[in-house]
Structure formats: C-alpha cells, structure tokens
Chains A and B, each alone.
Chain A
C-alpha cells in the first residue's frame, strides 16, 4: 500500500471511463502539490464525467494521451522544482492502456536525462467484472508497444516470448502466432479474487498445458517481485536471445515489462496486442486496495528504489 502521509511533487493519472481511475487521486490528493491528467480519445463512457469533475475540482491540468501530451504533463508537474533536486511524482497507471504505460515509462526515462525522478507507480485494483471475461475478442492492434518496441542487434538470435496472461487468450495466441517465438514463457496472475484466477486458467488452459514447463505465477499484490523476475529474465537472456514481453491481464505486468524493456533496449521489447477501438468500454470499480512500488529514473535507466 502507498503511505498516504508521504508527499509528492505531482500526480499523473488518466481521466478515462473507469470509476477506479480516480481512486488514487481521491485518496492522495492532499499529499501532492500538482496534478496532471491524460485524456485518451473515445473516453466519454461510464464514469468519465464524474472523473473529469473530480480532476477539475482538484485543479488537474489536462493533456492528450499521446507521447507529446505525456511529455508536457510530466514537464508541467516538475516545472518549478530545481534540477538538482530529485522530483517525486506518483503515477496512477490503473486506467492507462498498455501503450500509454509504455509511453509514460519512456518519457520518464527521456526526461531523466535532464533530471532525476523518484516515481511511485500506484495501481488501484478493480473489482471482479464478469462481463469483461465474456466480451468477444477483436484484434486490431498487433505490433510493438509505442516507444518500447526495442531493437534487435542480432535478428538471428532466438526469440523468447514472455506472456503475461489475462482473460483474453485469443490475444495471447495472436501475439504468439505473429511473433513465432522459439520458446514461450507464461506468467499467470494470481489476483485477490479467486474467480479471476479461475477464468484466466480456464481461458488459457491449452496454452498453459502446451508450455507447462515454462509457467510461472505472480501475485498482483507484489509488483516489486514481478518486476524483479522480469528484470532477471531479460538480463539472463540478453546475451543469447531476444525477449519480447506480451503484457495481457493485470497492468502490473505491463508496467514491469515496460521497465524491464527500457533497461534492455537492445534485447528486450514490449509487444502490444489489443482490440483497440473495437474494445467494448467496461467500467471497473476500485476495491480499495492500492499496490505500489517506487522506481528511480536516472539517465534513461529505471532502478527500483524502494517498495
């Protein structure tokens, strides 16, 4: 959990249609100096208006969610802080899509060439939503994540696919079918809700059985542990293989994968597969649990500072 008594220079969040997208801001507003929000396109569903109202009340500056908007938002948060002081911000990534998570990580790394950052990544857990698991999967996005697509210094080195599993088994298969990795490692999330775990297992059963010797589980409540696993994996493979992370399921996997890919730009990358605009907007309410970990950004490297 995030200690609500700590102080931050700024908070960055997404103002989207999920109710949980305002949970972190509501809880920690008193402990941050400034707020900035990113407004993704096609957000005006479900809780968008209430979210927008809250952020306006909190005097959050609004920016579009592309690379330039993210850059402007982060710059805005730390504008008044001397360059020789470490800027402390909190990033609520609960309602960010995986491209935005990758972009935020990339922008933080980019700006860290000028100044140091200490970033608390906070994740507000969403309640179990049956309808989410029942949505039909359309695939319209199947490409490297924006900004963290990586680079192959040796295209002949074997490709290792590392998939964070979620409800959407078709998306996992789509990515694997496109990438055709020599080996696939699966990371199975264990959430706070057993119903979620059960659906994820059932949906991905054939994939899990086929790769049974290369399945690891991770706890959504322990993002630091997951981050360390993915970092170790990318580091161990860097000399002899290319690693491509396919983040599905809980966004804690996407964030950890983005940080690992950032730190191994010549051998690790992040792949994005998604319904894109064909996604059916579903609201997620916050359970009240917030998981976080702190990362220090300095000269384009992301280092875990604390948990």
Chain B
C-alpha cells in the first residue's frame, strides 16, 4: 500500500482545473448530476467550491471519455454526441482583465476571452484529428481530414477570430492566439498611460466566431449535423457582457453549438442581470444544482468515492468498508431526509443493550427535560421493541441523532473536545460528513489513509477516525477563514465569526436548552438583515459552508441567500457539536438575537 504522498496525484489534486482531462477521467466517479448534465442540451451547473463542477465539465470532453474506465463509461461515451470544448478561467486572469484601464476594459476583456475560446476550439479540433491513441479505451467523435482540409479549417478559425495569419494546422492557430494575447497585453499596458486606438481585431464576437468556425469544420469533415458544446467553467470570472451573451444563447435556435456553464451559487453577474439567469430556465436548458438537493444521492456518491479509493489500494481484492470503519452511533438516513416513515420496527441498536438504547437511557438519567419528554409521549425505553409500527417508533427514530449527540456532549465531560469527533465515526457517518463535497471527501480519504494499517485488515478505531475528521474540518475551516470579511454595523466581521455565532447558537438550542425533538437544524435568511451579514452568508454559501434546505426551485438557484433556508454543512458539525440531521429552520434574526459580540446588536431586525 502506498502512502498518500506517493498516491496517484489525480486522486488527491484538490482542484481538477490543474489536471488534464485524462487525469480527471482516471479517478472519476459519476454522480447523478453527471447523467443530468450529459442528457441536457444546454445546462447551468451550480455549486460551491469543491463541488466538482470543473470535473463534470471536463468529463464531457472526448479526451476524457476515451480513457475513462468506469462501469458506466461506455454508456455515457455513447450518450455524449457533441464535441465538448472546455473553456476554463482562473481568478488571476479574471482580475487582470478587470484591472485594465476603463476606456478599453470591456473590449479587451471580451477579446481576451474570444482568443481563449479560439485556443480551446483549436485544441479540441486538434484532438479529434490527431489525438494520441495509446491509452484510449474507445474512440470518441474522432474525425479524419486531409492536411489540405485541415489547413482550410485552421485558416477559417484564424479568419473568424481575426487572428491575423494563415496557419496550416491547429498548432499554428494556437501560436497565433498566443501572439494576439501578447499584443493585447501590450495594448493594455499602453492604455495605462495614453489614449490608445483599439485595433479592429480586438472587436470580436466570440460566440458568433465560434459558430462560424465549427460550421466550417463540420462541412470540411463531412459532418454537417455534428454538434459542439462549449463548456464554460467558473463563469463568474467571465466578463459580464459575455455572460449576458451566453445566457441569451441558451434560448436555443439553429446554432451547431450548445452551452454548458458552471457557476458559483451566488453570482454577482446574476444580480446585474436582474434575474435573467432564472428566466431562461425551462425548456431550453437545465439548471443542475450540486448543493442542497437529493442528499441521499450525495451520500451514495461519497460512498462510491470511498469504494473506488479503497479498491485501488487492494488491486484484485475487496475491502469491507463497514468492517474497516465500523457502525455509526448516528443514523446516516436522518442526515439526509426528514421523512420519518420507516419499516415500522426499530432495529436492535435501539434496544436496551444497543448503543442508541444505551445513549437514550443515559440521557434520560441526566436530563430531566428528556425524561419528561419520554414520559409525556409514553415512550418506555425498557420496552422499546413494543413501539414497532407506532407513531412513537417514528418519533424515536427521528430524534436518534439529536439524542445521541445531546447525550454525548452533556455531562461532566461534556466538552470532550479531543474526543468530540469520535461521535461522527463509523462508515455511515463518514459518508455523510463531507456533505457530498468531492474535494472534502478526497481530503477525508487522505486523512483516513494516513491512519490505515498496512494490510487493511485492522479496523480504523473511532479515535483514529476522529483525528481524520478533525483534520478535514481544520482544512475546511481554513478555507472559510480565507473568505473575505465584511463590515457589519461599522465593524469588520469574518465569515467564520458569523458561522461560529450561528453554530454556537444552534448547539445551545440542541445541547443546553430544554430537550425538544424539534430543535432547529437550520435557519432562514430574512430581507432585513444588515447588508454585511448578507454578504458574509453569500460567501459562506459559495464556500460550501451553507447547504440550502428549501428544496430545488430551479428558478431560485441563483437568487442568492435572501428568503432561503439553510443548514450548516456537516463538515462543521464537530466544531459546533451538532448532530448531522435535517430539521426545521428558524429565522436567523431570532436565532442570533442578543448573542452578537458587539455592544450594538447585529440583529435587531426581525425578518
């Protein structure tokens, strides 16, 4: 067995943007969203950092589909009938474009993006014509073209994108693009000091040029009906003019190009566009949310990542993950659904000798309010088996995670900080903890790997699992610490400070106040909260710390945080000693009233 430092880089690379399509494919596990993305003609993929947006888009490229060896790879490769063109961006580049002197900023940004599209197109055309065959498990949308025809296709690309040359092949196109981008840099620099004349080649309509170029390529390849899909990643980094143009193109039409876009949940552009993003949802495109929907799918997906990872550690063998990590004290189902209907019968873990039964008995002994609740509802822990099929059985099942968490943290050693994360150990809980976030799942796998016995025969103890959980939480908290602050009522405040207030208050309601099975699990965001708080909530949402629990209303996916309901990510559950559970949401203003750290209350408005 290898150690994580020696492991496959692609498995532990935290951002797929730094991996080739082939590297992404080698460790790809398809979530439900991938099928939705493949099936859609046009789509907007919405998710926080680490949700896997880049991976999903990269997996629509032929370069990835040819080397993916997953169980469903053949099927999906046959479904993907258009040539995917990945168009990435990063924050540095976006900021560089944005920092351009105002008179030429819009034109220069659009031109830079257009040349970027040209380069991406040329790369895909190059792959379709000459991509390497070794390692390929299946040919995907390859095409044959004579060198003369290729020269014509390259020349067309150059002409439509005003690249200013006559390349003989797609490599030549890339060189011309590079030259144009260097020229743009010179123009940008000159504009800092003087008025500059904008050359004609700067004024390019990227999407129209792309349509013309692929139409000509199709004609030369003898595939007039062939479709292409432009895959714009991190669209929040693109110039707003391009975003607006892209959204208008999503309405369909006769174009040979489809569009699949990835976005952060809260997007400045969406605000600028006045709801235009939501308005185009419907028959012309699908909005696919990677956060807050179908938690069962997210947990299942995390489990598949676990299985794939550990099967790689034992080639030819199998690893029993339940055996390796043991049972959980908490119930994974409770973390993903509020549906309390079960098969009627409470399992043996609830019996007097079972771990949950014991926890309930312990809590009854030390918590008068819990005892009163049991008495009031005529729940006799000594005869809990007799509750089978009754509504009381459903009540017991529904409060399991709440009760075991309350019991775990109440009492003489209630602040067992060093051991606190052990509550979240066990295979079921481990697959719930990352909250469907693949980047954090990989981080958890890395930490668990460090603590594995060499032969995978020995169980990973709850203590070791707790250490791994805390290490992942630390990484997630570091990410949250890295979010920009905001000014709230004249005082700077960080995202983490706000989350700590929320988490602390939720924990207080669950652990310290009178027992209630309906203690809040989340909160709703009203309109009257201070602007700085809304800003911090938006940043927390984009970072994956807030999970929407108000169901999937596609028209509202990009509406921001106001008038929505959230819970904290389970990745923060150990930090605040919270159960991983679904439940009702209370107003954030009321939750935090009188607990703000400053002398002037932050939340003096009801919402």
Contacts and interface: CB of A to CB of B under 8 A. Distances in A.
Given A156-B119, A158-B18, A138 B494 contact: yes
Nearest to B94: A155
Nearest to A174: B482
B492 A179 contact: no
B482 A179 contact: no
A159 B88 CA distance: 13
B416 interface: no
Contacts of B284: none
Given A144-B92, A150-B96, A155-B116, A206 B484 contact: no
A265 interface: yes
Interface string A222-256: 00000000000000000000101000000000000
Which residue of B88, B482, B494 has the most chain A CB atoms within 10 A of its CB atom? B482
Given A153-B182, A178-B482, A180-B90, A265 B189 contact: yes
A4 to B, nearest CB: 37
Residue in B49, B92, B93, B99 with the greatest tally of chain A CB atoms within 10 Å: B92
Interface in B97-145: 99, 116, 119
Interface stretch (B206-214, B473-481, B502-510): B473-481
A173 B484 contact: no
Contacts of A179: 90-92
B185 A140 contact: no
A265 B481 contact: no
A278 B91 CA distance: 23
B17 A143 contact: no
A151 interface: yes
A74 to B, nearest CB: 15
Given A144-B99, A149-B95, A155-B89, A139 B482 contact: yes
A140 B482 contact: no
A139 B185 contact: no
Contacts, number: 95
B587 interface: no
A244 B93 CA distance: 11
A182 B10 CA distance: 12
A151 B116 contact: no
Contact of A155 (B90, B99, B487): B90
A265 B93 contact: no
A266 B185 contact: yes
A244 B96 CA distance: 12
Interface string B13-25: 0010110000000
Contacts of A159: 90, 92
Nearest to A173: B482
A43 B89 CA distance: 38
A180 B181 contact: no
Nearest to A106: B192
Given A144-B95, A173-B481, A177-B479, A156 B88 contact: yes
Contacts of B479: 173, 177
Contacts of A137: 481, 494
A170 interface: yes
B188 interface: yes
A143 B494 contact: no
Of the listed residues B15, B18, B182, B484, the one surrounded by the most CB atoms of chain A closer than 10 A to its CB is B484
A278 B492 contact: yes
Interface string A167-206: 0001001111111101000000000000000000000001
B485 interface: yes
A139 B18 contact: no
A143 B237 CA distance: 13
Contact of A152 (B49, B92, B119): B92
B92 A266 contact: no
A170 B482 contact: yes
B18 A143 contact: no
A160 B446 CA distance: 23
Nearest to A67: B192
Contacts of B484: 139-140, 142, 174
A174 B539 CA distance: 13
A94 interface: no
B92 A242 contact: yes
A96 B193 CA distance: 24
A10 B116 CA distance: 46
B166 interface: no
Interface in A120-142: 136-140, 142
A307 B188 CA distance: 34
Nearest to B115: A155
Contacts of A182: 18
A110 interface: yes
Nearest to B481: A170
A180 B483 contact: no
B51 to A, nearest CB: 14
B91 A180 contact: yes
Contact of A138 (B88, B116, B485): B485
B178 interface: yes
Contacts of B18: 158, 180, 182
Given A155-B90, A206-B474, A265-B185, A180 B17 contact: yes
Interface of A: 110, 136-140, 142-144, 149-156, 158-159, 170, 173-180, 182, 206, 242, 244, 265-266, 269, 271, 275, 278
26 contacts: A136-B494, A139-B485, A140-B492, A142-B484, A143-B99, A144-B95, A144-B96, A144-B99, A149-B95, A149-B99, A150-B92, A152-B93, A152-B96, A153-B178, A155-B89, A155-B90, A156-B88, A170-B481, A174-B483, A177-B479, A177-B482, A178-B91, A180-B90, A206-B478, A244-B92, A278-B485
In the A-B complex, the 7 residue pairs with the closest CB atoms: A174-B482, A278-B492, A151-B185, A177-B482, A138-B485, A182-B18, A138-B492
Interface of B: 15, 17-18, 49, 88-93, 95-96, 99, 116, 119, 178, 181-182, 184-185, 188-189, 193, 474, 478-479, 481-485, 487, 492, 494
Given A149-B96, A150-B96, 12 more contacts: A140-B492, A151-B188, A151-B189, A155-B116, A158-B18, A170-B482, A173-B478, A174-B482, A174-B484, A179-B92, A275-B485, A278-B492
